[in-house]
Chains A and B, each alone.
Chain A
Amino acid sequence: MAIPFNDMPLRRKVILIALVSTSVSLLSAFCVIILNERLTFPKTMGQNLSNLAQIIGDNCSAALSFNDNKTAQEVLNTLKANPHIRKALLFDAKRGLVAQYPAGSLENIKLPEGQKEGVGFTPDGVTIFRFVLAGRERLGTLYLESDLGEMKSRLLNYSVMTILIWVAAFLISLVVASRLEKRVTQPLRLIVEKMQDIARGEGDLTKRLEVSGEDEIAEVAAAFNTYVEKLQTVDEMKLGLISVVSHQLKTPVAEVNGYIENMLEGLAGEVTPKQRQYLEDMREIGKENYRLICDLLSASKIERGVVSVNLNPVSAKRLVELSIRDYEEPIRGKGLKLFLRGLENDFKVYADQDKTVETIRNLINNAVKCTDHGSLTIAIEDLSGQGVIEVRDTGIGMSRETMDRLFTKSRVMGKEAGRAGAGLGLYIAKNFMRLQKGDVTVTSELGKGSCFRLTIPKVPEPGGVKV
């Protein structure tokens, strides 16, 4: 049940600290009061009893002077008003008992000879002997005995008051602490939220936290901003590096590919069947390399925000035909069926032809890679206002977890980038489509295949007549 202090939420910590400090201060105040009371009470009580004895004694002086025991008894009876007085005895000058409280038949006692005035303390009470004087003449002696009830009731009062104050302080500190807690944790929570936003794949490194005030929270925000700034610099350096390296690689790789092509065409003399097989493998690897370099370039352009799109009305059918051109052979080579659907109902979309074709080719490339049996279906569909191009396969599919991260940057520049191909392509696809005010989405089931769906804004047709 008890949570260690370190693991508590800040809110509880603040409240707990407030409560503990109020409790401790109240308790110590209570202890000081009780201690003070303990120390001063006997003195106070002796003083009070002495004052009472003085008054009672004075009131008895005439009764003692004129032997009026009845009046003396009446005076002692007034002690009833003080419930803490247990006993009172009045002796005359000859030390004989003349009145007693509580009233009753007089006890057969005499005041000890030479009894002095003074206060005495017993474990459960206070006693006093006091002379009754008239001028310098001693008329008699009064004895009073009080219990400690007064002290007890005062201690009880203090305890009750302390508890009441504690309860009030508890409630007040609860309110104050929860208010205070909000002022402390609200900015923290805001910072945590923004940090998480930046930390997640979608995080934008150009974003900064708002720094207000000069407290520790502001310091955290400022430090975080500095950190993000550095990250941004590193990121930019990385993108620059990728861009430069890709550019430097692109031309040689293209050249090598050209030579391979030339050799396959026999421009460099007779090619033996064995040599042809090697050359064909090299051509495949070279193409893959070239594609990877192109993807890296595109991705770094997207990252640096230097991609521009050139939107024109384009036929959807033409987009599919341009995309499929280089893949018909690999598809057939893998023994897959290719279905083209909806091409008879062509329509026009606003798109950047090159980028859209690159996107569709990326999707087809992935589909071919991921599918060993079954078919590939490419379909176009005319939804009101939107053109849809679908690439569906019957391949390995993917888990929900994979889908969630499919289009994110972490796949591009993160650990998974090493796998090349698929990851980069989808990131580029997503960004290219968004730049064209379209989108790419995926539905998939592990082991049953995937379906990628491009949406592109359609060119409005007057009267809805189809071309």
Chain B
Amino acid sequence: MKRQILTFVSAFFLAFPWVETRLQGQEVSEYQVKAAYLFNFTKFVDWPQTTLTPEKKTFIIGVLGEDPFGGTLEQAVAGKVAKGLPIEIRRIDDFDPDDSAKLTDCQILFIAYSQKSRLSQILKALRKAPVLTVSEIENFSLAGGVILFDQVGKRIKLVVNPGAARRASLGISARLLQVAKLYRSE
């Protein structure tokens, strides 16, 4: 009898739309966290001086492909500076193999899930460019991306590929490595 009541109550709650909203709210929260992380990377990663020249006006965080952040990325960086520069969010809808400069202009490049099929091409185009590539595509580390957002249950773990970082001439702080999992190729 008791169990029946419990089942009923559960079903009742599941049927209501505000429960849906709450779940959705969690999802939004996940990208809020990821947006914050993208910004936080600026504190623990060093770009080569050739990239952050005095002529440079903005620190560019690019989002390639279908943007999952919505407005949260703008919220995360609002009023903040990275390496002393104001932050510019640049959205790149699609990968254009002939215009890789679009990508190499960025200091941080988030590669959205929609680009999964073209991942190796993108990374090949970025090869050696001092761009911190970040993605949530599962085989990102294997493909040669620098930081992977790895979803473990509710938690987002960072997976860093030190080889890729070195190839991109990026210095990753030991403190960041302390909280990340390291991906070892070969």
Query: Which of A58, A59, A66, A71 has the largest count of B CB atoms less than 10 A from its CB?
Result: A66
Q: Any chain B CB within 8 A of the CB of A62?
A: yes
B 19-75 contacts with A by CB, 8 A: 33, 37, 40, 43-44
Looking at chain B, what size class is its interface with the partner chain? 10 to 19
Is B43 within 8 A of A65, CB to CB? yes
Residue contacts A-B, CB under 8 angstroms, 25 given: A58-B175, A59-B175, A59-B178, A61-B43, A62-B173, A62-B176, A62-B179, A63-B178, A65-B40, A65-B43, A65-B179, A66-B37, A66-B40, A66-B156, A66-B158, A66-B176, A67-B33, A67-B155, A71-B179, A134-B40, A134-B43, A135-B43, A135-B81, A137-B43, A137-B80
Provide the bound-state CA to CA distance between A3 and B156, in Å: 86
Knowing A68-B179, A71-B178, A71-B179, say if A62 contacts B44 (CB, 8 Å): yes
Is B175 within 8 A of A62, CB to CB? yes
B contact face: mostly helix, strand, loop, or mixed: helix
CB distance from B125 to the nearest CB of A (A): 28
Q: A62-B173, A68-B179 are in contact. List 11 more A-B contacts (CB 8 A).
A: A62-B44, A62-B175, A62-B178, A62-B179, A63-B175, A63-B179, A65-B40, A65-B44, A71-B178, A71-B179, A134-B40
Provide the bound-state CA to CA distance between A68 and B176, in Å: 10
Chain B: CB-nearest residue to A136: B81
Which residues of chain A are within 8 angstroms of B158 by Cβ–Cβ distance? 66
Which residues of chain B are within 8 angstroms of A68 by Cβ–Cβ distance? 179
Is A61 within 8 A of B175, CB to CB? yes
Which residues of chain A are within 8 angstroms of B33 by Cβ–Cβ distance? 67
Provide the bound-state CA to CA distance between A61 and B81, in Å: 17
The 4 residue pairs across chains A and B that have the minimum distance between CB atoms: A62-B175, A68-B179, A65-B40, A134-B43
| Chain B residues in the interface with A (C-beta under 8 A) | 33, 37, 40, 43-44, 80-81, 155-156, 158, 173, 175-176, 178-180
Chain A: CB-nearest residue to B177: A62
Provide the bound-state CA to CA distance between A71 and B175, in Å: 10
Which residues of chain A are within 8 angstroms of B43 by Cβ–Cβ distance? 61, 65, 134-135, 137
Provide the bound-state CA to CA distance between A61 and B33, in Å: 16
Which residues of chain B are within 8 angstroms of A65 by Cβ–Cβ distance? 37, 40, 43-44, 179
Looking at chain A, what size class is its interface with the partner chain? 10 to 19
| Chain A residues in the interface with B (C-beta under 8 A) | 58-59, 61-63, 65-68, 71, 134-135, 137
Provide the bound-state CA to CA distance between A135 and B83, in Å: 9
Which residues of chain A are within 8 angstroms of B81 by Cβ–Cβ distance? 135
CB distance from A130 to the nearest CB of B (A): 17
Provide the bound-state CA to CA distance between A415 and B159, in Å: 121
Provide the bound-state CA to CA distance between A59 and B175, in Å: 6
Chain B: CB-nearest residue to A60: B175
Provide the bound-state CA to CA distance between A71 and B179, in Å: 6
Provide the bound-state CA to CA distance between A62 and B179, in Å: 7
Which residues of chain B are within 8 angstroms of A67 by Cβ–Cβ distance? 33, 155-156
CB distance from B83 to the nearest CB of A (A): 9
CB distance from B33 to the nearest CB of A (A): 7
CB distance from A96 to the nearest CB of B (A): 15
Query: Which of B33, B43, B179, B180 has the largest count of A CB atoms less than 10 A from its CB?
Result: B179
Chain B: CB-nearest residue to A70: B179
CB distance from B77 to the nearest CB of A (A): 11
CB distance from A386 to the nearest CB of B (A): 113
Chain A: CB-nearest residue to B33: A67
Chain A: CB-nearest residue to B82: A135
Which residues of chain B are within 8 angstroms of A58 by Cβ–Cβ distance? 175
Which residues of chain A are within 8 angstroms of B80 by Cβ–Cβ distance? 137
Query: Which of A61, A62, A68, A135 has the largest count of B CB atoms less than 10 A from its CB?
Result: A62
Which residues of chain B are within 8 angstroms of A61 by Cβ–Cβ distance? 43, 175
Which residues of chain A are within 8 angstroms of B173 by Cβ–Cβ distance? 62
Chain B: CB-nearest residue to A74: B178
CB distance from B76 to the nearest CB of A (A): 12
Provide the bound-state CA to CA distance between A59 and B44, in Å: 12
Which residues of chain A are within 8 angstroms of B178 by Cβ–Cβ distance? 59, 62-63, 71
CB distance from A65 to the nearest CB of B (A): 4
Which residues of chain A are within 8 angstroms of B180 by Cβ–Cβ distance? 66
